[in-house]
Structure 1
Amino acid sequence: MVTVVDTVATAKPKLRHPEKAHRPDQDSGLRKPDWIRVRAPVSKGYRETNAIVQSHNLVTVCGEAGCPNIGECWDKKHASFMILGEICTRACAFCNVTTGRPGAIDPDEPKNVADAVAQMGLNHVVITSVDRDDLDDGGAQHFVDVIHAIRARSPGTTVEVLTPDFLRKDGALEMVVAARPDVFNHNLETVASNYLTVRPGARYFHSIRLLQRVKELDPTMFTKSGIMVGLGESRNEVLQLMDDLRTADVDFLTIGQYLQPTKKHHKVMAYVTPDEFASYEAAAYSKGFLMVSASPLTRSSHHAGEDFEKLRAARARKLAAAE
């Protein structure tokens, strides 16, 4: 799941204070460095976005996951929507979303999301979800319904999906790709050696193959993936992950600092410095990614709209250079 301003549409609002939900080094033994600190959200724009979220019965991953960028993004009325409820069927060691048995899908959710997108006047929207291993299609049809609802209400809005891995859900990926989102994002979250402890319900090479399959189904569709660092990975493992993603022809890579949500979650093993992030960014560009965002506060949907425009421009330049 992941990672940037992600907003979740469900039938039941949560009246919590998302800016207070993130306490990253409470059990890591490491002091949070100055470069990872952000101010609590208090702006007028933040309050207006929060009001829209609440009025449409939406729950935010910004609050659930304690995203450090919530103040900046909500102030600009940037939001991403997480569908299929607020309860995940998996228990990843990095994620603060509740694990359990999900309820029924809200049939009004596509309309609620589309209404919120229109009211906020979004040029670009991100649609993500919890894992729904309990559903035959993993929630793929609901992704399709939300995409269609947004397009019907706001035809000028570009749509980015951040999907689960649809593990053992035959035909699910194909359904979502057929709905033609502008960007297909699926996060690897961490390097392969960490999967058993950090992302035990997932399979590293299945996720790589999923991203590769998107390009086989629609070579024109932009693909994207993101990871967190500070989970005990080595630099060589991150570089290998980049190579694996480029083998799958992924266009856009995001890299951000892992922050520990609660004491029960995986510890922060290291705070990666801004210089190290800059080095990762340079390495990723050298491997052929069209777009790279790497910084301590980078999250999967952070600046997604602006980055989509840059992504389109980068592809145009690449095609022009090849002519």
Structure 2
Amino acid sequence: MAMKPLQRKPDWLKIKLVSEQEAQHFKEIKQMMRSKTLHTVCEEARCPNLHECWASRTATFMILGDICTRACRFCAVNSGLPTELDLQEPERVAEAAEQMGLRHCVITSVARDDLADGGAQIFAMTIRAVKERLPFCDVEVLIPDFQGNWDALYTVLDAKPHVLNHNVETVERLSDRVRAKAKYRRSLELLQRSKEYSPKIPTKSSIMVGVGETWDEILHTMDDLRAVQCDILTIGQYLQPSTKHLPVERYYTPEEFDRLREEGMKRGFSHVESGPLVRSSYHAREQKEAAVRVLES
């Protein structure tokens, strides 16, 4: 199917210029990551907030290689047949987190449908390794759906991450078009089972807007997430990575993102991060702290 050309972005999507200090900081961290053969989703997914997050001591490591077994039509990560399974990777992630002095470490992965547990054991090993080296650092995981393997989910939860994140990405009507193999209802079930198994671990999900959804469908998705007691919601503008990916159907204004945040808070989320450049891990530490305050109240 022919794709629309990349559209010109509105002014509010312009990314501020980075300072020389931020650029040098980025260069040093990137060199360190490469020396440890590690990947970050910050780079792979071309996150617009990379410099800001790294400067605030937040980073998202992408484990289990950099080749995904799925080919979601919104995602810039390479897809294909992975060859990498490195049992030493968890310790190297922990070493890097320690060197960076992270206060909030997010661990995500490519989808590894080629593995029986989807990589859950490596997730658990990485959580434990980071917590051992950095006992005062929050550890958040952004996990795939493990194809509905709930034992794999419980393996991750048993390692006691501080936040369990799984993104629904879009509204139910568009889910099959936007996501490869993932199912909207299965994602909701994962979040529900997470809350039932570990009630004190905040759950989190994300919606990207601009792929053809309606306003009412976004609100309905919020309702679905609250029905499974999801604590934290992030909402951001979808940006087309290349002409091979889904086109942007609409750019939402900053005012509309403000309204979406209000709608989410009215529905009972402990924190809603909503804005044009918001991504799942943006202000992740602040999101976790807000959720914990609500859960403990």
Name the TM tier (shorter chain).
over 0.9
- 2:140 touches 2:161 (CA, 8 Å); kept in 1? yes
Q: Tell me how far apart the structure 1 counterparts of residues 293 and 150 of structure 2 sit (CA, whole Å).
A: 34
- What secondary structure is seen at the aligned counterpart in 2 of 1:136? coil
TM-score normalised by structure 1 residue count: 0.87
Instruction: Please say if residues 68 and 80 of structure 2, whose CA atoms lie closer than 8 Å, have aligned partners that are also in contact.
Output: yes
Please list, as runs of the form range in 1=range in 2, the aligned pairs for 1:206-221 lying within 5 A after superposition.
206-221=186-201
Residue 4 of structure 2 contacts residue 243 of structure 2 at CA under 8 Å; is this kept in 1? yes
Q: If the length of structure 2 is used for normalisation, what is the TM-score?
A: 0.94
Q: Separation in 1 of the partners of 2:237 and 2:157?
A: 30
- Decide which of 220, 235, 258 is 2:238's aligned counterpart: 258
Distance 1:225 1:285 in 2: 14
Decide which of 291, 297, 316 is 2:277's aligned counterpart. 297
Confirm or deny: 8 A CA contact 1:89 1:132 kept in the other structure: yes
Q: CA deviation at 1:63?
A: 2.0
Over residues 245-290 of structure 1, what are the superposed CA-to-partner deviations in whole Å (9 max), with x where a residue is unaligned? 0000000000000000011000000110011101110001001101
Partner of 1:268: 248
Which string of whole-angstrom CA distances, capped at 9 and with x for unpartnered residues, describes residues 112-168 of structure 1? 000011111112210000000000001101101111111221122121100001114
Structure 1 range deviating more: 200-209 or 71-80: 71-80
Check if 1:34 corresponds to 2:11. yes
Counterpart of 1:79 in 2: which secondary structure?
Answer: strand
Residue of structure 1 aligned with 2:124, choices 144, 158, 163: 144
Matches within 5 A, 1:221-300: 221-300=201-280
Give the letter for the 1:35 counterpart: W
Cα distance, 1:170 vs. partner? 4.5
Aligned partner (choices 49, 67, 77) of residue 87 of structure 1 = 67
**Native 8 Å contact 1:144 1:179 kept in 2:** yes
* CA–CA distance in structure 2, aligned partners of residues 61 and 310 of structure 1: 24
Measured in 1, the distance between the counterparts of 2:50 and 2:5 equals: 23
Equivalent-residue separation in structure 2 for 1:226 and 1:170 (angstroms):
21
Mapping of residues 180-219 of structure 1, within 5 Å: 180-219=160-199
* Structure 1 position 218, deviation (Å): 1.2
CA distance in 1, matches of 2:199, 2:185: 20
Match of residue 56 from structure 1: 36
* Aligned equivalent of 1:156, options 136, 147, 159: 136
CA distance in 1 between partners of 2:37 and 2:118 (Å): 23
- Percent identity for Structure 1 against Structure 2: 49
Q: Is the 8 A contact 1:45 1:76 kept in 2?
A: no
Counterpart CA distance in 2 for 1:153 and 1:71 is: 24
Matched positions, count? 292
Which AA in structure 2 matches 1:189? Answer: E
Provide the rounded CA distance (Å) in 2 between the counterparts of 1:176 and 1:76.
Answer: 26
Residue in 1 aligned with 2:293? 313
8 Å CA contact retained: 1:46, 1:76: no
The one of 100, 106, 113 equivalent to 2:93 is 113
Range with bigger deviation, 35-44 or 130-139: 35-44
How far 1:81 moved relative to its partner?
A: 0.8
User: Structure 1 regions of 5+ residues with no counterpart?
Assistant: 1-24
Q: Structure 1, residues 152-207: CA drift from partner, whole Å, max 9, x if none?
A: 21122121100001114351111111111110000001111111211131100000
- RMSD over aligned CA atoms reads 1.6
**CA distance in 2 between partners of 1:114 and 1:123 (Å):** 12
